[in-house]
Structures are given as structure tokens and as C-alpha cells.
Amino acid sequence: MTTDIIISVRGLEKHFDEGKLKALQGIDCDIKRGEVVVVIGPSGSGKSTFLRCLNLLEQPSAGTITVDGADITDPRTNINKHREKMGMVFQHFNLFPHMTILKNMTLAPMKLLKKSKADAEAKAMALLQRVGLADRANAYPSQLSGGQKQRIAIVRALCMEPQVMLFDEPTSALDPEMVGEVLDVMKQLAEDGMTMVVVTHEMGFAREVADRVLFVDEGRIIEEGTPAQIFENPQQPRTQDFLRKVL
């Protein structure tokens, strides 16, 4: 059963401004392989910080994070090797503006997985095909719409063949009519069995795709459960309050 768990977080804390600001105040959670976990919560509750700690874009202040059996909070772990296993998708896409789409997608696999140009491009083209953007392979990011950029950002991360994908509000910067196309790609990914941790305000997506929903407030997991439990029958007053505001 334990091999089933890919990420294990214990007592995770993150402090900013020399301890004055406690963004995370003790998070415990286990994420199973293939599980889709959606993190919801009010603004400033620490959702992004939690996600960013998982691939060490933020250095945790306390606690341990074990990924695939290795304690990544140990200073001696190779952070870069760890990050290869964790794809991340950002709110603002963060595509490399000076490279074509294809170059965006093949840079890391060629440098890190030592793939040949042909192999890396074949993989990239196959992924572009899947998200319907094969014809934009030689375009630059500035020539794409927001929805297209975010789909590219997702497949760019997938080119590294990660075991886990982290999404930090992937649709929050999009025009409403483009949200659907990005969520569709994420659904597809979930169906393919990818382990996903998704911070989002898209409650419809959470309901439909999540295996488990975490409600976070003030740096703590206040309540967690299946989408049905959280959305139909929340137990905690704060969860009820939050859902009343967003639904």
C-alpha cells in the first residue's frame, strides 16, 4: 500500500519575512499515484505556496516532503533531478518568448534527458497533435492566444515525462471562452492516469475531475474529502462559508 503513495507531506511550514508571515502552518497530506487532488481556498490562504514547496520553488521552513521515497527537504537531494519528475504549469504560462513552440518543448528534454533532436521533436509533435496545436510548432508564443499558450505550457511540461503535474490556477489569466479548452486538456491528462495537484477556482472542474478536494485556509488544510463530501456536505463552518461565496 505504501508504494501507492507518491507524495507524502508532513508538518510542512513556510514562513516569509523572517518568520513574521506564516504562509503554511503545518500541512500533512499524502497523494497517491494517479490521484487528482484539487486545492481550493480563499486568496492568500497558501495554496500557491503549498504547490511551490512541492517542487522546491519555495524552500520549506519546516517539515518534510517525501516524493517517490526520497526526502526532498534534505539539502543533499539533487533538486534539479527531483524537478524533472514534477511538471509545473503557471497562471501566466511562462513560455520562453524567444523560442519557437517546438524549441520551448525540446530544450529541457535535449539538455536533461539527453534526447536527440529528432527524438525530442517527435515526442513534442505527438503531444502537440494531441492538444490540436501541431500546426503552431514553429510559431512564437506571442503569436498564440492565451488558451493556446497554456495548452503549450502543459505539453512542454509533459515533454519531460513527469510523474506528477502541478497546476497553479492554470485558467485564472484566461478569457472565459478559453478556459474550456485548457480544462479539457487537463481532464484528458487525468483520464490518462497522471498524478495531478491542481490549485483552481474552477469548482466545476473540481467536482468533475478531482478524486479528492483539499480546502485550505490560513496555511492549514481545514477539510478534505471527495468532491461530493466537500461540495454537497461540508462539515467545517469555514468551508461552508467559502463555498457559499464562490458557488
CB 20 to Mg ion: min, Å: 20
CB 154 to other proteins: min, Å: 12
- Helices in 19-134 by DSSP H: which ranges? 47-54, 79-84, 101-112, 117-130
Q: Is 55 in the site for other proteins (CB under 8 A)?
A: yes
Comparing CB distances to ligand ATP, the nearer of 25 and 64 is 25
Interacting residue with ligand ATP among 21, 79, 112, 126 (CB under 6 A) = 21
Q: Is 106 in the site for Mg ion (CB under 5 A)?
A: no
Comparing CB distances to ligand ATP, the nearer of 94 and 129 is 94
Comparing CB distances to Mg ion, the nearer of 59 and 172 is 172
Q: Is 148 in the site for Mg ion (CB under 5 A)?
A: no
Interacting residue with other proteins among 6, 27, 40, 86 (CB under 8 A) = 86
Q: Point out which span in 93-101, 114-122, 125-133, 191-199 binds other proteins (CB under 8 A).
A: 93-101
Backbone dihedral region of 119: left (phi > 0), alpha (psi from -120 to 50 degrees) or beta? alpha
Distance, in Å, from the CA atom of 134 to the CA atom of 132, rounded to the nearest integer, reads 6
Q: Is 45 in the site for ligand ATP (CB under 6 A)?
A: yes
The amino acid at residue 58 is: E
Q: Is 157 in the site for other proteins (CB under 8 A)?
A: yes
Distance, in Å, from the CA atom of 112 to the CA atom of 114, rounded to the nearest integer, reads 5
Comparing CB distances to ligand ATP, the nearer of 41 and 147 is 41
The β-bridge partners of 215 are 40, 223
Distance, in Å, from the CA atom of 186 to the CA atom of 195, rounded to the nearest integer, reads 11
Collapsed DSSP state (helix, strand, coil) of residue 115: coil
Q: Is 97 in the site for other proteins (CB under 8 A)?
A: yes
Q: Residues near 45 by Cβ (< 8 Å), separated by ≥ 6? A: 216, 217, 218, 219
Q: Point out which span in 13-21, 85-93, 128-136, 223-231 binds other proteins (CB under 8 A).
A: 85-93
Neighbour-count burial for 32-56, b at 16+ CB within 10 Å, e otherwise: eeebbbbbbbbeebbbbbbbbbbbb
The interface mask with other proteins, positions 13-52, x = CB under 8 A, is: ----------------------------------------
Report the candidate in 167, 173, 171 with the shortest Cα–Cα distance to residue 204. Answer: 171
The interface mask with Mg ion, positions 29-58, x = CB under 5 A, is: -------------------x----------
Residue 150, C-alpha cell as written in the block: 497554456
**Residues recorded for the chain:** 247
> Which chain residues interact with other proteins by CB under 8 A?
55, 57, 74-76, 80-81, 83-84, 86-88, 90, 92, 94-99, 107-108, 111-112, 140-142, 153, 156-157, 160
